[in-house]
Every structure is written in C-alpha cells, then in structure tokens.
Amino acid sequence: MNYPHLFAPLDLGFTTLKNRVLMGSMHTGLEEEKDNFEKLVAYFAARARGGVGLMVTGGISPNRQGWLVPFGAKLTSRSEISRHSHLTKSVHDEGGKIAMQILHAGRYSVHPLAVAPSAIKAPISPFKPWEMSRRLIRATISDFANCAARARESGYDGIEIMGSEGYLINQFVAPRTNHRKDEWGGSAENRFRFPEEIMRTVRQKTGKDFIIIFRVSLLDLVDDGSNWDEIVLLAKKMEAAGATILNTGIGWHEARIPTIATVVPRGAYTWITEKLRAEISIPIITTNRINTPEKAEEILKNGHADMVSMARPFLADPDFMIKAAAGRGDEINTCIACNQACLDHIFSKKNASCLVNPRACRETENWAKSGMRDEESGMRGQNLTQNFSKNKKKVAVIGAGPAGLACATELAGRGIETHLFDAANETGGQFNMAKRIPGKEEFYETLRFFNKMIEKTGVHLHLNTRATADFLAAEKFDEVVLSTGVLPRIPKIEGIGHPKVLIYTDVLAKQKMVGKSVAIVGAGGIGFDVAMFLSEPHPRKPGEFLSIENYQNEWGIDPNFENRGGLKKAEKPDVPRKIWLLQRSKNKVGERLGKTTGWAHRMTLKKRGVEMWNEVEYMKIDDTGLHISIKNQAQIIEAEHVVICAGQESQREILQPLADLGIKTHLIGGAKAAGELDAKRAIEEGTKLAFEIAG
Ligand code: NAP
Ligand code: SF4
C-alpha cells in the first residue's frame, strides 16, 4: 500500500476516519456569499470526493461580537440551519466527513462590537475591544454550546473550537491579553476557566458521539504568551473536559514570524506536536507547511502526530488523497505556500482561490466545471457527463512559461492536438528563475506537475525551437496561443552599457558572478527576489530547503521554550554583500508585495542590512558606481555591480506576422500585458483560454 501510515483509519470509538488527513480550516469568503452556500457546497463536495478523512469549515462565529468582520459567517439561529444541512448532506453524499469551526475573533474582530478579556487593542485591528463583563463571559460560553448544538443539528460530524492563533479563547489563556483580576484572570487555573467551561458545556450539549476538536496554541510566538507547562496543563484540561482530538495552532496573527509562508521549511513545527503528544492520551493533529504525501507519511511514521492537517494543499489539488492512494503522487498539483491567491485575497476582501489551481472556490463556474478527466476522481471540475471525444482542432502554444503550460495541458486534456514550443531547453519560463530564489524552492513542484501533465495529456513538446509565423502557417495550425512572456525593461540611464551593469536575468538565469556591493534598480517583486538571492546567509543547493534549525535561529523561535511564547533573540545573519534596493516612487519600498508575505520579505532584508531607499533619481553609472539624487541631494553608491530589475515589457514580435497570415492568435500572460504580471494571472488566463478554444 502507498503511504500506509497516511491511509491507516483512525478509530475514535463512536466513528472512524478513513485516513489520517484533516483538511484544516480555511476562510474562503464563500461563507458570506448570499447563495444558500451553493459555491461553498461545490467546493467542499469536490474535496470530499477527493478522499480526505475529515474537513473543517472556515471560522463560524457563535455570536455577533465574535464576527471577524461585520456580517461575517455565524450560526446563531435555527433559521441558519437549513443551508448548513445542505452543505453537510452534499459532503456526506460524496463519502466525506466535515466539522464546523467555531471561531470567536475577540480583539481580532474588525468592527466596533469587538470584545476581549481585557480592553487591550490588537496591533492588527483598528478597534479597541470592550472588556467582557462576567455576565457576557457566561453568555458567550452558552453561545459556543448553542452554536455547537446547531452544528450537530445541521448534520456536521463534529466541531472544532478555535483556541489558537490569538483569537478570543487564546486571549483568555495568555497573560499578554488577559489582565483580569476576577475568577477569569490571574492564575493559569483562572485564565483556563473560559476554554474549560466552553469544552464542558459543548460536550454536555452535543452528546458523547460527536467529534470535538480543540485547536490549542502550542507556540504563541508573541511576548507574554503561554509557557510550556501551561500549554500541557491546558491540553490535559481539554482532554478531561471532553475533547476528542487536539489540533495544533502555531503563532498568533500579530506575531512577526512567518509560520506558513514558503520561506518556512516543510514540517517545521511537527516537533512541538510530538512534544505534546507525549503528555496526552487523545489523538493530536500536527500542522503548518506540510504539502506532500511523502512529508505527511514521514511525520506519521516518526510518531510526531496521530493526524496531519493540510489546508492550502487541498485548494491546490482537491484530488490529493486519491492520487496519493493510487501511487500517482507525481500528479499532485502541490501548494507552493505563496499565499498569493488564498490568504492575500482574503485579506484584500476577495474570495480565495489558488495560484496553481484557479478552479479552487470557482467550482460552479462553467470554465471550471469543464476540464481534464481524472480516472479515479472523475473530473477536475464537476461536469461528469461531458464527452471529451477528440476535438479536431490543431493548436500551437508558443512559450512554455506558466501561462503556456496551463493552456497547453488544458487544451490537450480536452483532446485537442496541442503543440507547445519554447526556444529554451526546458519548460518553465520565468519560473526557472523564481525557483532559484532561496525560500521559493516549492516552484520546482509546479514545474514537476506541469511536466507530468504534458506527458499525461499528450502535449507535443518542442524545446529549443523558435516557432516563426511562416512555420506555424506551413504546419496548418488552426489557432495560435502566444504565451511568449516578457523581456526585462532596460531604463534609459547614462552609462547603462557599463560593464558593471547586470540585468536580473544575468544574475538569476545566467548565474553571473556578483561583487561585494550591489545597487538594485527597481524594487518590485523581482528586485526583492534578487535582493533575497544576493543576501542569503545560508547558501544551499538548488531546490534544497532552509534547515529547520537555521529557520528557528533566523526568526528567533526557541524549541527549548525558555521564555513565554517560545521566543528567543534572533541570530544576526552573516550576509555576503552590501546591498541597496532602490525605487523612484514615494511609496514605501515593498508596499505592493503580497499582503500576507510582504512584511516578512521587508523584515528579512532589513535584518540583513539591505538599504531600501525610495524617491531615488538615477543620474548615471560609471567606474565609481551609481550616481543618484534623493530630494535633490546628489550622492554616489560605490557599488561593484548595478543590477537592473526595472520591470518588464511584453515579448510578442510574431503577433503582427501571424495577423498578416490570417492566423487566429490569442495572447496570454506576459505577452498580453507585462504590467502587474504574476503567475496567478498567467495560469488563470491559460486555463480559461483553453476552455474558450475548446468551445
Ligand atoms: P514590478 O513589480 O512592476 O517592479 C518594477 C520596478 O521597477 C518598480 O520598483 C519600479 O519602481 C521600477 N521601474 C519601473 N520602470 C522603471 C524605469 N524606467 N527605470 C527605473 N526603474 C523602473 O516588476 P518586476 O519586479 O519585474 O516583477 C514583475 C512581476 O512579477 C510583478 O508584477 C510581480 O508581481 C511578479 N513577481 C512577484 C513576486 C512575488 O514575490 N510575489 C516575485 C517576483 C515577481 P519605480 O517606478 O518606483 O522606480
Ligand atoms: Fe498554496 Fe499559493 Fe494556492 Fe494558496 S495560492 S493554496 S499558497 S499555491
């Protein structure tokens, strides 16, 4: 059997989970759609069909004060039960199990009704919370229990009580946010009374045969968080009060340590679940940066946990478990932990999706329903009846970057004769540079996935081939897709031809040597990538992840728990060169980077001593270095090299010749528009265009 530990059933006494994987809670934005949960139902049904053992919904509030945002998802009245029942029935019909997460945001609520154990404002919310009265505390405990009872009535197999990430329950538990002097604050016993009473009341209201997961914060990663003895005590109390399973929570939302981003090594937090597992007797789930069946199997085999939670990997591929079970792990579309279409969307008030799988959370849209047949799961989408008999069209896709790869594999998957051309000797385009950036090692997985799909769908791949318009006409292609990508923009600066000037492609693709002092012109996504690459204190082989020990030292995470919250002094990085990262505009350097990861990139570069300057005017480049002016003050950066990262221009020189020959041509990705280009747009455009062409 493939992955025997992953696929071992888990007997909970009154029910059995078919495998050891939990699809962790993720807010998608569909919870608030006014559509009787139709989109949410399709989203969960697809994942239930994919074979995951147990799923957890996004956070549902037990009352209005607990809303994350005004009018956020809640389950506070009987009238709301019917749409939840619709959801649970659809999951059960697909052979799945689902638990509803009850989340009270406390001082993380972004609205004026926010409440907390003490009136202490969170650094990530504009609202100062109201201190909860003793009466309100009692009422909130009842709200949790009533919400749980309604969840049971709605057909959920269980609930998860959100006790981590710095939400209300965590706020009661930690001295950082609980300054109360009454029976709900002070000693650990008093601070833990709130979760204890919730657990006991919820168990009483829901009965013995109902899954109750308690998500406990094992590492707060903030000052004045819990210490290890308290975490063990709380876990034991939750077990005694009726929890079926404990789940691991890592880091409060206000913590300044990345815990799920791509810079975090895989399985970086399983050690702490293992530590707690030795203290309790109920099953415990581990989490954070687990994204392949191999990693999950290794964790379970090594006894770090009883179950593994993966959330984003199921956005990236709903059929993860089916493919793993069938020994087709190389067909899994792996989550690259970029956050670009999931968390960044949610924090920008948009529905979540996935950079590598644009169908995620759009399962009801026509283009998303249609797609490649998967022998085990039926379809990627949901339209199981569509007939993909050979489509007679012959299509050329020019350029094997993310846009071209997505389009070509989707076309071929629909039976269209598809030829994919690239002048390079490998597929991947810009991804081949991205994968070399320390902390972006996961990009290798996306390329592995697409290369496998090329093979599986029968795309005719022509590398080292520059397709001309005449050739495409002679080969009688019905339609051509131009996914030829971008070329670096070369700014008009005096001395731009000086030998000390390098283009980012020289550094990342051609691997030219770079001196001990470097000025980077342009601080967009690529400027930051180059700065990260050139300042990396832990050089390693391509594709090799940062070690967990180096990650802990770099960010100040203490596995010995000498201080509350598990923090220690971060190590001073040993940086190989002096770097200046420059931009002309006034806004903060890095302001346009991803909402949930940009802060960590800025912080990393700051710790590495990278100078990040805005309002820079470039005057000239000569033997001395880069001459600039800031607010009319001239100065010279005596850099050995100047690296140009000044954006891109579309590369589409065969567009006009194709038009002259009357060949129907489509533009996608960077070839269509270079500004604001990212892989998310490229893959989505490629996927949608294939649907259009297939008709
Ligand atoms: P970009 O994000 O548009 O940044 C271009 C930079 O060059 C800006 O800092 C711009 O700032 C500067 N610039 C533009 N024209 C210039 C000129 N004529 N002279 C001097 N400087 C000039 O483009 P990019 O860095 O090439 O990235 C391309 C795309 O890839 C981006 O859209 C990005 O989203 C994506 N990407 C994302 C990531 C990520 O981590 N999410 C990483 C890599 C790439 P000023 O105009 O202020 O000087
Ligand atoms: Fe993973 Fe990125 Fe997709 Fe989010 S957008 S699920 S982080 S691959």
Centre of ligand 2 to C-alpha 353, Å, is: 8
Q: What is the DSSP string of 673-693?
A: --TT--HHHHHHHHHHHHHHH
Strands (E), 280-415: 284-286, 307-310, 373-374, 378-379, 391-398
Is the C-beta atom of 437 inside 6 A of ligand 1?
no
Under the banding of pLDDT at 50, 70 and 90, the label for residue 35 is confident
Is residue 444 part of the annotated active site? The answer reads no
Under the banding of pLDDT at 50, 70 and 90, the label for residue 382 is very low
* Phi–psi pair at 144, nearest 5 degrees: -60, -45
pLDDT value of position 372: 59
Atom of ligand 2 nearest to the CA of 337: 7
User: Which listed ligand is nearest to 443 at the C-alpha?
Assistant: 2
Take atom 6 of ligand 2 and give the residue whose Cα is closest: 312
pLDDT for residue 384 is more than 60: no
pLDDT value of position 390: 61
Query: Per the residue annotation, which of 43, 167, 504, 551 is the catalytic one?
Result: 167
What percent of the chain lies above the pLDDT cut of 70?
A: 97
Under the banding of pLDDT at 50, 70 and 90, the label for residue 695 is confident
pTM of the model: 0.95
The model's pLDDT over 165-223, given as tens digits with 9 standing for 90+, comes to: 999 999 999 999 999 999 999 999 999 999 999 999 999 999 999 999 999 999 999 99
What is each CA distance from 306 to 248, 281, 286, in whole angstroms?
Answer: 11, 11, 8
Using an 8 Å Cβ cutoff, are 488 and 644 in contact? yes
pLDDT value of position 199: 98
Q: Region 332-338: what's the mean pLDDT? A: 97
Neighbour-count burial for 348-378, b at 16+ CB within 10 Å, e otherwise = eeebbbbbbbbbbbbbbbebbbbbbebeebe
Under the banding of pLDDT at 50, 70 and 90, the label for residue 56 is very high
pLDDT for residue 527 is more than 60: yes
pLDDT value of position 258: 96
pLDDT for residue 374 is more than 90: no
The residue ranking higher by pLDDT, 419 or 393, is: 419
* Phi–psi pair at 675, nearest 5 degrees: -65, 140
Atom of ligand 2 nearest to the CA of 680: 5
pLDDT for residue 379 is more than 50: no
End-to-end CA distance of the chain: 41
Under the banding of pLDDT at 50, 70 and 90, the label for residue 375 is low
Q: Are strands 648-650 and 664-667 parallel, antiparallel or unpaired?
A: unpaired
Strand (E) or helix (H) holding 11: strand 10-11
Whole-angstrom distance, CA of residue 493 vs CA of residue 259 = 41
Take atom 1 of ligand 1 and give the residue whose Cα is closest: 524
pLDDT for residue 373 is more than 60: no
pLDDT for residue 474 is more than 90: yes
pLDDT value of position 370: 78
User: Which listed ligand is nearest to 343 at the C-alpha?
Assistant: 2
User: Which listed ligand is nearest to 614 at the C-alpha?
Assistant: 1
Rounded mean pLDDT of the chain? 95
The helix/strand/coil state of 281 is: coil
pLDDT for residue 386 is more than 50: no
Centre of ligand 2 to C-alpha 313, Å, is: 7
Q: Region 84-113: what's the mean pLDDT? A: 97
Look at residues 405, 414, 430, 428 and name the one whose alpha carbon lies nearest to residue 481: 405
Look at residues 6, 102, 90 and name the one whose alpha carbon lies nearest to residue 47: 90
Is the C-beta atom of 212 inside 6 A of ligand 1?
no
Is the C-beta atom of 646 inside 6 A of ligand 1?
yes
Atom of ligand 2 nearest to the CA of 340: 5
pLDDT for residue 335 is more than 80: yes
pLDDT value of position 387: 46
Look at residues 452, 444, 608 and name the one whose alpha carbon lies nearest to residue 541: 444
Query: CA neighbours within 13 Å on the CB side: how many for 254?
Result: 21
Under the banding of pLDDT at 50, 70 and 90, the label for residue 675 is confident
pLDDT value of position 378: 47
Take atom 3 of ligand 2 and give the residue whose Cα is closest: 354
The residue ranking higher by pLDDT, 377 or 539, is: 539
The model's pLDDT over 83-96, given as tens digits with 9 standing for 90+, comes to: 999 999 999 999 99
